[in-house]
Amino acid sequence: MKKRVNKIKAIIFDVGGVLALGNNSVWDKQKLVPSGVHIDIAKKLKISLDQYMDAIDTNYALAIEGKISREKVLKIFSKNFKTSEKKLTKLYIWAYRKHFKQNKQLFKQAFKLKKLGYKISVISDQWYLSQDALMPRKFYKKFHPVIVSCDIGMRKPNPKIYKLILEKLKLKPSEILFIDNQIWNIKPAKKLGMKTILFKNNKQLFENKIWKNLFKK
């Protein structure tokens, strides 16, 4: 009987910077969205970037962790920016979609892996409006489970988020490959025993030995 090349049964993908590629490499202090998103919104609102960052302050970080509701954070932001919640929502969706694009090559490869029998899953740090813009259901309905920080009340690199997906996948850490573009998110997964790849670009990922072996079932 022919032995399997690898024992991996599931691949977990990050979204921002992996399944959704940013069009610049400058990241803000929250390590979530490229500064271009914030700069564009500040310009549209006709305020300085410093004023903008002061206006979102800790509520932005709380929203990423789901510690503040969608309704409350939008109410606070609209009041601080002196604009309507509807206008603000449209502005954020526009900015995220301007600065990110779907990684079509990687989606294609992920769906190919699913056809080969692997589970494909997602762990992503998002707040409500970045989730709306970057994670439309039509692109993510084939992934399961899909764990988003604002939905579950915690974010990477909290070890609990990795343990949660292990429970949902019902797999051992050694049976999982985790792909993320930030080293601080990779470390907890590796510590738990998952195989990991630090994503830089598609070429680097597709040439990785672990990735290539996935297709040799």
Q: pLDDT digits over 168-196, tens only?
A: 999 999 999 999 999 999 999 999 999 99
For the segment 83-128, what is each residue's pLDDT rounded down to a tens digit?
999 999 999 999 999 999 999 999 999 999 999 999 999 999 999 9
Residue 158: pLDDT above 70?
yes
Distance separating the N- and C-terminal Cα atoms of the chain? 13
Residue 34: pLDDT above 90?
no
Amino acid at 139: F
Whether the Cβ atoms of residue 44 and residue 36 lie closer than 8 Å to each other: no
Q: Assign domain 10-22+101-213 to a CATH class.
A: alpha beta
The residue ranges of every structural domain in the chain are 10-22+101-213, 35-99
pLDDT band per the 50, 70, 90 thresholds, residue 24: low
Residue 75 structure tokens: 């109410």
- Looking at residue 6, what is its pLDDT? 60
- Looking at residue 2, what is its pLDDT? 47
60/38 Cα distance (integer angstroms): 12
Residue matched to tokens 């990785």: 208
